[in-house]
Amino acid sequence: MIDLTDPEIYVHGIPHEQFAEMRRNAPVCWIPQARGSAGFDDEGYWAVTRHADVMAVSRDSETFSSWENTAIVRFQADMPRDRIDMQRYVLLNMDPPQHTQQRAIVSRGFTPRAINGLRAALATRAERIVQDAGRGDTGDFVTEIACELPLQAIAELLGVPQEDRKNVFEWSNSMIGYDDPEYGGAADPLEPAMELLGYAMTMAQDRQACPRDDIVSTLVQAEIGGEHLSPDEFGFFVLILAVAGNETTRNAISHGMLALLERPDQWAAFKQSRPRTAVDEIVRWGTPVNVFQRTATRDTSLGGQQIRQGDRVALFYGSANFDEDVFDHPDRFDITRSPNPHLGFGGSGAHFCLGANLARLEIDLIFNAIADQMPEISLAGPPERLRSGWLNSIKHLPVHYR
């Protein structure tokens, strides 16, 4: 059986035929791995490929823990136990009640009001990013356009000063590009992570001493009932935002552009009517996060299989988003698709993407800016993909801007 977390099988993108066959014949399937090969004593994992089963696991965080194992498949390779424990400070890897408490605090930065408050600033940013890129005839869409807005959005949200943004971006990049040296991946992804963590903790200490009118100050200032984030908790929160908010949204934008430019009718339709449904279809189609995992806390059954306590369960969003039981013609990219109950932001459980509305806003703003300012954009070559079984990521996308 093929290891579905192996980067090799993703070199041309999500292996849709393989997943379709699994959804048909083995929707919850045990994938053996060499014992200890992923840094744990596990002998393998359950691959969950159907939409309904991914939803069921996501909704039941009592039976399927995020804490018992780390959520980030790629990080597990060769990582000593103490480093894995570090990841447990990250929201994504917590279980209730700790998760519920932390999420309630950080959610204050992501209220619809807070996100809407960023709209004007981000719209201006999006327009400027597109304008700057459009000065050249050709370029790399990923580095010149798709990368910029997600970083700026998080930096804006957190109040990171302009002069520090480049560093934050580089730390984030090298944490993620770990398997792919060409991508600037650090030999040890913990190094840039520690840099970013240190930076964020300093920022938090600074705001604790001298509060300002920004989300960092809100999160680290003591409140009634003592509900706040300590500087180190804040540091880990920034760490996850840099990974969860930056790389994912960038890839949604790159996949969206590729899909639109490969289908001139869809690009023409977008430019003409700007349907709001386009954003979610872009996230479904691109599925920037291919897989997350949970660990069973008790014996249970799923999709007709007996799952034992302690078994790892991998949720393949890249498969669930193309499940023909849920989506008509899932292999058709359709910017008017509605309803679109995709799982690109995770299932609707406790860990549902905190930044989903921010990501939607960014995608909406950037494609509108592109449609306004560079309607003639076209592909200048094939995409180059990141070597990863976890992220569905495009490293470079050559385009003609006019």
Where along the sequence are the contacts to ligand HEM (CB under 6 A)?
58, 91-92, 103, 154, 240-241, 244-245, 248-249, 252, 283, 288-289, 292, 317, 344-347, 349, 351-355, 358-359
Residue whose CB is less far from ligand HEM, 99 or 207 = 99
| Residue number, 174 or 393, with CB nearest to ligand HEM | 393
3-state helix, strand, coil in the chain (%, to 5): 55, 10, 35
The C-alpha angle 59, 64, 66, rounded to 5 degrees, equals 100
* Nearest distance, CB of residue 290 and ligand HEM, angstroms: 9
What is the smallest separation between the CB atom of 79 and ligand HEM, expressed in angstroms?
20
CB nearer ligand HEM, residue 58 or residue 208: 58
Q: Using alpha carbons, select from 209, 205, 269, 199 the residue that is nearest to residue 238.
A: 199
Residue with token string 């999006």: 126
Which is nearer to ligand HEM, 91 or 220 (by Cβ)? 91
Q: Shortest distance, CB of residue 236 to ligand HEM, whole angstroms?
A: 11
Considering the complex, what minimum distance in angstroms separates the CB of residue 187 from ligand HEM? Answer: 27
The residue of the chain with the least Cβ separation from ligand HEM equals 355
- In the complex with ligand HEM, the residue whose CB is nearer, 153 or 377, is 153
Smallest distance from ligand HEM to CB 293, Å: 9
Backbone angles phi, psi at 132, to 5 degrees: -60, -45
Q: Is 387 left (phi over 0), alpha (psi -120 to 50) or beta?
A: beta
Residue keyed to tokens 């920037």: 288
Distance CA 321, CA 177 (A): 25
DSSP state for residue 15 in the 8-state scheme: -
Instruction: Provide the 3-class DSSP secondary structure of residue 312.
Output: strand
Find the shortest distance in angstroms from Cβ 28 to ligand HEM: 17
Nearer to ligand HEM, 23 or 351 (CB): 351
Say if residues 13 and 321 touch (Cβ distance below 8 Å).
no
Structure tokens at 305: 């299989």
Cβ pair 252, 229 in contact under 8 A: no
- Give min distance, CB of 73 to ligand HEM, in A: 12
How many C-beta atoms lie closer than 10 Å to residue 2's C-beta?
A: 12
